[in-house]
Amino acid sequence: MENNYQQQENTNRKDSNKIYFLIIVIVALLGTNAYLYFKDRKSNERIVTLTDDRTRMETEIDKIEAELDKANNTNIVLSKQMEEEQELARQKINELREQLKKGQLTQGQLEKAQRDIKQLRYFVSKYTADIEDLKRKNATLIQERDSLQTTVSNVSAQATELAKQNEELNTKVKAAAALKAANISVIPLRIRNNGKETDVSRANSAEKLRVSFSVADNSVASKGMHDIYLRIIDPSGNLIITGNTGMFTTDNEELQYTYRTAIEFNNDGKSYTIDWTNPEKFQKGTYNVVLYADGYTMGRSSVTLR
């Protein structure tokens, strides 16, 4: 009886040990599963964190590149240094894109990329500020250039106006200095056999015309020799010319003359006489005589032959 009781007790003890062992195994399994669960959860959280950081950095790089493109979207001529800085910035942007595209970055590599992006943003901000400063300087230079062009234009206009006034003044002075004839008379003459000259009034008797005149007082006219040009118009209205006549300029017009001579002017009220012999026969009618000196009309007169 006692043996049976002892065997039963041993059997119960063994069963209890099995239960304890199973409990320990279950607890161990639960602990392992919990450890694996939290480890996997932490790993997933880390992956999510790394993915979010990479996305944020890619977005940040896009913004930085857009700011760089906007800064360059001007007509500003960059200096060599600014062109080199821009090229370095774009190289850095490409490098960061390649690193983020691979996706196999450690937390340390991501942190370094973040520092690089921070430096890149600082550079782009400074670069943009330099562009704006350059634009302001260019605007100032353009304003100064326009102001200078306006000043030059005004000075040029003033110079043109002064030149015009000076030319007008010179024309007036030149006109004022031109000799003017007074008391002009035209007398037909005949030369007798004894050489004496007599006045005539008939065309068939006349051989030459004597033009007598005095010169009006003129204190601004230059003293000395002055060329005198005669234009003689016959009764038919034609200019009488000979083989040795030429051209002269008067009142800004080029004309042909009948006869040319010169007088000496001293502004002393002296009278002058010019004789012109007609190589042809005189016609009945009126002959008009016009005198010119110093580029202007000096005076005119006429005579009628019967």
Task: State the pTM of this model.
Answer: 0.51
End-to-end CA distance of the chain: 201
Amino acid at 86: Q
- Are 16 and 132 in a shared domain? yes
Mean pLDDT of 77-93: 74
- Are 132 and 10 in a shared domain? yes
Of 101, 118, 136, which residue sits at a domain end?
136
Q: Judge whether 292 and 248 are in contact, CB under 8 Å.
A: yes
CA-to-CA separations, 19 to 8, 12, 35, 207, 224, in angstroms, rounded: 17, 11, 24, 173, 155
Q: Is residue 147 part of a domain?
A: no
- Are 224 and 124 in a shared domain? no
Is residue 154 pLDDT above 50, yes or no?
Answer: yes
Band of residue 191 on the pLDDT scale cut at 50, 70, 90: confident
Structural domain containing residue 262: 181-305
**What's 240's domain CATH number?**
2.60.40.10
Q: How far apart are CA 306 and CA 288, in angstroms?
A: 15
Q: How far apart are CA 105 and CA 112, in angstroms?
A: 10
Tell me phi and psi for residue 124, to 5 degrees: -65, -40
Q: Is residue 151 part of a domain?
A: no
What is the pLDDT at residue 46?
45
Of 110, 136, 162, which residue sits at a domain end?
136
Residue with the bigger pLDDT between 21 and 212: it is 212
Q: How far apart are CA 99 and CA 113, in angstroms?
A: 8
- Are 14 and 95 in a shared domain? yes
- Are 87 and 207 in a shared domain? no
Beta-bridged to residue 261, according to DSSP, are: 228
Residues 6+ apart with CB under 8 A from 258: 230, 231, 232, 239, 240, 241, 242, 245, 276
- Are 189 and 89 in a shared domain? no
Band of residue 37 on the pLDDT scale cut at 50, 70, 90: very low
Q: How far apart are CA 199 and CA 286, in angstroms?
A: 16
Q: Is residue 211 part of a domain?
A: yes
Band of residue 72 on the pLDDT scale cut at 50, 70, 90: low
Q: Is residue 21 part of a domain?
A: yes
- Are 128 and 216 in a shared domain? no
Report pLDDT digits (tens) over 238-291: 999 887 778 999 888 899 999 999 999 999 989 999 999 998 899 999 999 999
Across 81-90, 159-168, 289-298, which has the greatest mean pLDDT? 289-298
Q: Is residue 163 part of a domain?
A: no
For the chain, the domain total comes to 2
- Are 37 and 102 in a shared domain? yes
Structure tokens at 227: 């060329």
Mean pLDDT of 188-202: 89
Across the chain, mean pLDDT equals 79
What is the pLDDT at residue 107?
64
Band of residue 128 on the pLDDT scale cut at 50, 70, 90: confident
- Are 104 and 198 in a shared domain? no
- Are 10 and 117 in a shared domain? yes
Q: Is residue 45 part of a domain?
A: yes
Of 136, 162, 194, which residue sits at a domain end?
136
Band of residue 122 on the pLDDT scale cut at 50, 70, 90: confident
- Are 118 and 193 in a shared domain? no
Q: Is residue 153 part of a domain?
A: no
- State the DSSP H helix or E strand holding residue 162, giving kind and residue range, or none if neither: helix 107-177
Amino acid at 218: N
Cα 54 versus chain centre, distance: 52
Of the listed ranges 34-43, 135-144, 168-177, the one predicted with least confidence: 34-43
Q: Is residue 150 part of a domain?
A: no
Band of residue 34 on the pLDDT scale cut at 50, 70, 90: low
- Are 203 and 86 in a shared domain? no
